[in-house]
């Protein structure tokens, strides 16, 4: 049996991580792996999460299962964080998942069960796992234009032209905020135009929101998602707590199915429960419980919001510093887009050869398509990166 299996291609980002570890140079910069890092290069446990963990250790008296959809308190807290008062709570079915990736996979599974012929429209570029999961599930994938390589902004006209081909039964996958890998986001006005187009086509939007709070603010980053949920009859939302709560290894996510029809909502909740049962039975609870405690405790929540703001402003400061340093070195404003992008990532616009030159000459590691994690920098390494970019001829 095993002789029939074929070796799968290695994950490029994991390969990049390994290459970085094996590089003996002291002066090297990791801009590849997609996790938040502080100025010391650590991914710290957030203050409110650490406090909640200490409290949970004292009060938790059982490790029994919660439920197929996870703890209802977690779902309630996350629905409020994500959607606010955009839709009534009873319009939302929700199930805890192993991370945002688990939510994405369950969302695709729900789509496939509803319509085997569904086409999933995916931004070009997008998070590689979107493509990998869809390919593994043998679902029909249709790319839509999103990133303008010249302006480093959203190719909105191309996007609208492409997703206009979606029809009833199809799904259009959107990034809620802080687009990965480009950092280029839709404006409020563009979100509304997308909504109006989806109303015409009848396609269902699925929103992947993994960086709420890392762009312009917790509410600001959720604005597009809330607009979609409020105005369209059916919406899928895959959410992750890995970044904004820092609980990466706890695998804490949530899949939401919004349906303004009560009967459909009940069916959706049953389907989410069913999918959890088939794939991993009960979802993990530790990270979800910590997130719930933080969101429900006023003191912990205030501290968490303050720390998210610190992270957001710190990454934005690095963006602004890098853009300014590049302007100084090149006497050009062609890198100003770095300060305009939001979230942890930006696509620099370098060729694979230029990316390789930066790695060889300067010990700078980024994905071959020139996606870089801005949180991998600090104020001292920004000038090093800027010089490497110029020296590589970007």
In which residue are the tokens 């959607």 written? 83
* List 239, 243, 285, 369, catalytic entry: 243
The CA distance from 159 to 173, in Å, is: 12
The CA distance from 30 to 12, in Å, is: 14
* List 51, 94, 210, 239, catalytic entry: 210
Bridge-based pairing state of the strands 140-145 and 147-148:
unpaired
The CA distance from 341 to 233, in Å, is: 31
Both tokens of 128, joined, read: 């590689």
Decide if 243 is catalytic. Answer: yes
What is the 3-state secondary structure of 362-390?
HCEECCCCCEEEHHHCCCCCHHHHHHHHH
The CA distance from 171 to 174, in Å, is: 10
Bridge-based pairing state of the strands 147-148 and 92-98:
unpaired
* List 37, 127, 166, 375, catalytic entry: 127
Decide if 127 is catalytic. Answer: yes
CA nearest to 176, candidates 137, 139, 213: 213
Residues 6+ apart with CB under 8 A from 197: 160, 163, 164
Both tokens of 374, joined, read: 């801005």
CB of 338 within 8 A of CB of 372? no
CA nearest to 386, candidates 340, 344, 350: 350
* List 155, 162, 170, 208, catalytic entry: 208
The CA distance from 183 to 341, in Å, is: 5
Decide if 210 is catalytic. Answer: yes
- Label residue 23 exposed, middle or buried (CB < 10 Å: 0-12, 13-18, 19+): middle
Active site residues: 127, 208, 210, 243
């Amino acid at each position: 049996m095993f002789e029939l299996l074929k070796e799968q291609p290695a994950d490029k980002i994991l390969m990049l991580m390994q290459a970085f570890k094996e590089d003996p140079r002291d002066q090297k910069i990791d801009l590849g792996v997609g996790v938040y890092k502080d100025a010391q290069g650590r991914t710290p446990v957030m203050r409110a999460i650490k406090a909640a963990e200490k409290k949970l250790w004292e009060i938790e008296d059982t490790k029994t299962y919660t439920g197929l959809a996870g703890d209802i308190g977690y779902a309630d807290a996350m629905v409020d964080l994500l959607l606010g008062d955009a839709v009534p709570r009873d319009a939302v079915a929700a199930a805890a998942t192993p991370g945002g990736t688990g939510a994405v996979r369950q969302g695709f599974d729900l789509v496939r069960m509803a319509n085997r012929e569904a086409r999933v429209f995916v931004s070009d570029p997008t998070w590689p796992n979107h493509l990998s999961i869809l390919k593994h599930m043998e679902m029909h994938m249709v790319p839509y234009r999103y990133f303008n390589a010249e302006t480093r902004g959203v190719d909105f006209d191309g996007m609208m032209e492409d997703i206009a081909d979606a029809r009833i039964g199809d799904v259009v996958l959107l990034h809620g905020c802080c687009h990965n890998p480009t950092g280029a986001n839709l404006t409020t006005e563009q979100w509304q135009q997308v909504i109006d187009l989806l109303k015409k086509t009848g396609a269902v939007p699925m929103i992947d929101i993994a960086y709420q709070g890392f762009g312009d603010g917790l509410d600001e980053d959720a604005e597009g998602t809330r607009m979609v949920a409020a105005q369209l009859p059916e919406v899928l939302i895959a959410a992750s707590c890995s970044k904004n709560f820092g609980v990466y290894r706890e695998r804490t996510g949530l899949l939401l199915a919004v349906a303004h029809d009560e009967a459909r909502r009940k069916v959706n909740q049953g389907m989410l429960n069913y999918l959890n049962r088939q794939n991993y039975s009960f979802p993990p609870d530790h990270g979800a419980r910590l997130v719930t405690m933080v969101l429900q405790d006023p003191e912990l929540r205030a501290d968490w919001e303050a720390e998210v703001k610190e992270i957001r402003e710190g990454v934005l400061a690095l963006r602004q510093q890098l853009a300014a340093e590049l302007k100084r070195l090149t006497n050009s404003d062609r890198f100003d887009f770095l300060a305009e992008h939001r979230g942890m990532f930006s696509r620099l616009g370098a060729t694979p050869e230029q990316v390789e030159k930066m790695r060889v000459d300067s010990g700078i590691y980024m994905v071959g398509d020139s996606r870089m994690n801005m949180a991998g920098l600090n104020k001292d390494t920004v000038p090093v990166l800027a010089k490497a970019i110029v020296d590589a001829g970007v």
